[in-house]
């Protein structure tokens, strides 16, 4: 009997602990390089902003109040006098509520549209029509119907966030391999078991993509939505600093809105990498 020699496959060689450690070191170095370059880019933009204000605006002019140096200097007064953290917490709560309502409506609706062809044919034109209407155009109707306050803000945020979730979920359902469904049915799996073991793992990445897109829309709509007569939130703080002619504080609030939006998007990306890629 002739002997058969077995050679290690490329995958087994690549799984060597030393090579894995090398890849990890390279990944860490790449992440550090990207982070450093990103921080340098931010510093360059802020430096250009400061230099332009310094050259163009006189020291006592109104334009000089928009300097990044003055904006950062007003942060202590924003925190103590204007209760900055209270406004941030209020805005984040509204984002969470709006996203929760969008998930409750968007994911089941997207699932039904992707699962039932007739429903997709009937509802697609209407949903495309509604999706193209700016959420901010509903502001007068929201105030007249729901009154001034949080309920109108929640409606506008949920309306803005629901469409990415509907579209992403419906696209995910349409891309599911039907053979998995047939396999589940051949094994006498119940509808609940098929939902749990087939649909949910297959739709996780699509839903998380919709969540990330929804968060971006929510953060854009939040500031004008919080100008609907509410007494707290970052949008309210923008109006308040404008009315008090505190332009340095207004600039600081704008910077904070940008930083918080960046952090929310970064958190959404981390969640997608952790759960979406695994799915």
Q: pLDDT (tens digit, 0 to 9) for every residue of the chain, 279 residues total?
A: 444 444 444 444 444 555 655 665 666 777 777 778 877 888 888 788 877 877 877 777 777 777 888 888 888 888 887 788 999 999 999 999 999 999 999 999 998 998 888 888 888 888 889 888 888 888 888 888 888 888 999 999 999 999 999 999 998 888 877 777 676 767 767 777 777 767 777 788 888 899 999 998 999 999 888 887 788 899 899 988 888 888 888 989 999 998 998 899 888 888 888 776 555
- Please name which of 177, 159, 167, 255 lies closest in space to residue 207, comparing C-alpha atoms: 167
Q: Which CATH number fits domain 69-276: 2.60.40.1120, 1.10.3720.10, 3.30.540.10, 3.40.50.300?
A: 1.10.3720.10
- DSSP letter assigned to residue 139: H
Helix 234-243 to helix 84-115 angle (10° resolution) is: 140
64 phi and psi angles, rounded to 5 deg: -65, -20
In order of 76, 103, 179, 182, 203, the CA distances from 218 in angstroms are 28, 13, 37, 39, 22
User: What CA–CA distance (Å, rounded) separates 13 from 197?
Assistant: 33
Q: Is the whole model's pTM more than 0.75, yes or no?
A: yes
Q: Where are the alpha helices (DSSP H) in 57-116?
A: 68-73, 75-80, 84-115
């Amino acid at each position: 009997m002739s002997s058969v020699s077995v050679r290690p496959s490329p995958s087994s060689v690549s799984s060597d602990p030393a090579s894995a450690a090398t890849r990890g070191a390279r990944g860490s170095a790449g992440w550090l390089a990207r982070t450093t370059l990103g921080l340098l880019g931010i510093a360059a933009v802020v430096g250009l902003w400061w230099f332009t204000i310094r050259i163009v605006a006189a020291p006592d002019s109104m334009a000089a109040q928009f300097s990044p140096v003055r904006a950062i200097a007003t942060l202590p007064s924003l925190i103590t006098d204007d209760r900055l953290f209270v406004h941030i917490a209020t805005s984040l709560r509204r984002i969470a509520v709006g996203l929760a309502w969008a998930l409750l409506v968007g994911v089941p609706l997207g699932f039904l549209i992707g699962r039932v062809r007739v429903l997709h044919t009937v509802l697609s034109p209407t949903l495309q029509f509604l999706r193209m209407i700016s959420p901010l155009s509903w502001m007068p109707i929201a105030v007249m119907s729901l009154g001034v306050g949080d309920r109108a803000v929640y409606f506008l945020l949920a309306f803005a966030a629901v469409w990415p979730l509907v579209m992403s979920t419906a696209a995910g359902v349409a891309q599911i391999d039907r053979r998995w469904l047939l396999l589940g049915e051949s094994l006498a799996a119940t509808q609940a078991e098929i939902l749990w073991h087939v649909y949910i793992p297959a739709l996780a990445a699509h839903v998380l993509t919709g969540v990330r897109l929804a968060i971006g829309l929510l953060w854009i709509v939040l500031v004008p939505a919080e100008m609907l007569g509410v007494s707290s939130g970052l949008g309210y703080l923008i109006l308040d600093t404008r009315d008090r002619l505190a332009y340095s504080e207004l600039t600081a609030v704008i910077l904070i809105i940008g930083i918080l939006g960046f952090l929310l998007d970064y958190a959404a990306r981390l969640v997608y990498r952790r759960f979406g890629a695994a799915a």
